[in-house]
């Protein structure tokens, strides 16, 4: 996606070989026009997959996921990273390791927002090791729902996430695929 590639090159900050900071347009400050275009790309790619719900993990995936859901005229469900006192245990949960934060957390989905008849599209901001997307897919499948695919905003293709997800049978579609990062270096997959 050319518009996203341009923003990554102009405003992204490669802090190291593994860390790309894009907080000026994706997660701390959000560019609504870019999010809308991302939603358009995801909608166009997945429109024939029979999707009934869009899932994302709080919080950085919310903007692209809601734009995708809006354009597909579908509900968007946010999977929680923090335990909620009001969910009353009527939830699906799985443990996920966060590459960015370097810790485990309990990913939580209220049983009220998913059924065995659902066909889910998971949207996430980054794909590195695949743990977050895999956790979201596990929660959907625990309910009996089908996972139609996984949409990623920025994939770090030099890390094992895509292969791991594809080896488990998931279709992965990424808007930007990074081949290499380094201090002030960003290279895309050609």
Residue 131, annotated ligand binder?
Answer: yes
Question: 103 labelled as ligand-binding?
Answer: no
Consult the annotation and say whether 73 binds a ligand: no
Residue 128 marked ligand-binding = yes
Angle (CA) 122-128-133 rounded to 5° is 20
The annotation status of 179 as a binding-site residue, yes or no, is: no
Nearest to 186 by CA among 14, 10, 4, 7: 14
DSSP 112: G
151 is in an annotated binding site: no
Count of CB atoms situated within 10 Å of the CB of 150: 28
Long-range contacts (CB closer than 8 Å, 24 or more residues apart) made by 67-73: 67/35, 67/36, 67/38, 67/39, 67/40, 68/38, 68/39, 68/42, 68/43, 68/121, 68/123, 68/151, 69/39, 70/39, 71/36, 71/39, 71/40, 71/43, 72/43, 72/46, 72/47
To the question of whether residue 81 is assigned a binding role by annotation, the answer is: no
Task: Please check if 132 is assigned to a binding site.
Answer: yes
Binding residues for 5-phospho-alpha-D-ribose 1-diphosphate: 128-132
Binding residues: 20, 27, 128-132, 156
Binding residues for xanthine: 20, 27, 156
């Amino acid at each position: 996606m050319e518009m996203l590639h341009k923003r990554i090159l102009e405003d992204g900050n490669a802090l190291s070989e593994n860390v790309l900071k894009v907080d000026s347009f994706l997660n701390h400050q959000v560019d609504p026009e870019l999010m809308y275009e991302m939603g358009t790309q995801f909608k166009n790619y997945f429109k024939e997959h029979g999707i009934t719900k869009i899932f994302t993990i709080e919080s950085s995936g919310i903007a692209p996921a809601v734009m995708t859901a809006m354009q597909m005229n579908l509900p968007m469900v946010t999977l929680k990273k923090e335990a909620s006192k009001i969910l009353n245990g009527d939830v699906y949960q799985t443990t996920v390791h966060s590459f960015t934060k370097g810790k485990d957390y309990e990913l939580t989905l209220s049983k009220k927002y998913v059924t065995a008849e659902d066909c889910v599209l998971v949207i996430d901001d980054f794909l590195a090791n695949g743990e977050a997307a895999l956790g979201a897919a596990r929660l959907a499948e625990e309910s009996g729902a089908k996972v139609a695919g996984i949409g990623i905003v920025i994939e770090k293709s030099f890390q094992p996430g895509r292969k791991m997800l594809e080896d488990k049978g998931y279709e992965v579609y990424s808007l930007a695929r990074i081949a290499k990062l380094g201090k002030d270096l960003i290279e895309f997959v050609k």
